[in-house]
Structure 1
Amino acid sequence: MRDADTPPQDPADDRSHSAALTPQQRADLIRAAAAEVRDRVQAWRDNPNWRNTPANSHRYETTIGVIDALGQLPAPDTKEAVASLADAVRPVIVEWRPSRPGPEQAIYAAVERLRRTIDTST
């Protein structure tokens, strides 16, 4: 049984082993996971229950800014370039920890998927 502070469990990841992926495919996985985080954070911000506290505003602005900047980085052609994409989104991972249920918990689950994607892509 899952309590309100436990993120939902994801099904087993059936993606190809990361060693078989090109740098571009790895980057695509990172960008897709980051886009999911961005979408969830934007939905949280657009929710009528959004509280415009300094902490919430900081997490929102950091997440949106970092992920938007990720879109401006060039397509990677080396493992090192993929690592630079991963480094670019790490501030998002630091911002989100398990907290309250609801939209923030969904964001945390998406951030955990991003973290796992980075860990397997670099």
Structure 2
Amino acid sequence: MRDADTPPQEPTNDRPHPAALTPQRRADLIRAAAAEVRDRVQTWRDNPNWRNTPANSHRYETTIGAIDALGQLPDPDTEEAAASLADAVRPVIVEWRPSRPGPEQAIYAAVERLRQAIDAST
């Protein structure tokens, strides 16, 4: 049984076709998904059960750093500029795997939505 935040295992076809998206719409999808990831990661970090291990600190810093870098990029007006937004947050995709329990599973679900936003935009 999966919780509400666990993404489905089968791919869905409800994503917009990349050719139908403007660079600005692609940016909006990526930024919204990244904001959700940031909120969930910060909630995990602020939790009293947070363990300040090197691995946890690395994942936290990588995630926050990538999303902060995304926030510094201007709104895109070309396909190449939209791709640079996706490149800024790709390190976040690498850091989170579905095997982690509890709050980390909720983060993974949000990261999966970010991955789907990136896939929809490329």
Q: Is the TM-score greater than 0.5?
A: yes
SS at match of 1:89: helix
Deviation at 1:21? 1.9
1:99 and 2:99 are equivalent in the alignment? yes
Provide the rounded CA distance (Å) in 1 between the counterparts of 2:87 and 2:33: 14
User: What amino acid is the match of 1:38?
Assistant: R
Normalising by structure 1, report the TM-score. 0.88
RMSD: 1.8
Deviation at 1:74? 0.9
Cross-structure match for 1:43: 43
Deviation at 1:14? 4.6
Provide the rounded CA distance (Å) in 2 between the counterparts of 1:56 and 1:103: 12
Alignment size in residue pairs: 118
Cross-structure match for 1:119: 119
Provide the rounded CA distance (Å) in 2 between the counterparts of 1:64 and 1:16: 27
Deviation at 1:20? 2.0
Q: How does 1:28-107 map to 2 (within 5 A)?
A: 28-107=28-107
Provide the rounded CA distance (Å) in 2 between the counterparts of 1:75 and 1:69: 13
Q: Deviations over 1:53-93 (max 9, x none)?
A: 00000100110011011000011011111111101100010
Identity %, equivalent residues: 85
- Spell out structure 1 runs of 4+ moving beyond 4 A: 12-16
Cross-structure match for 2:6: 8
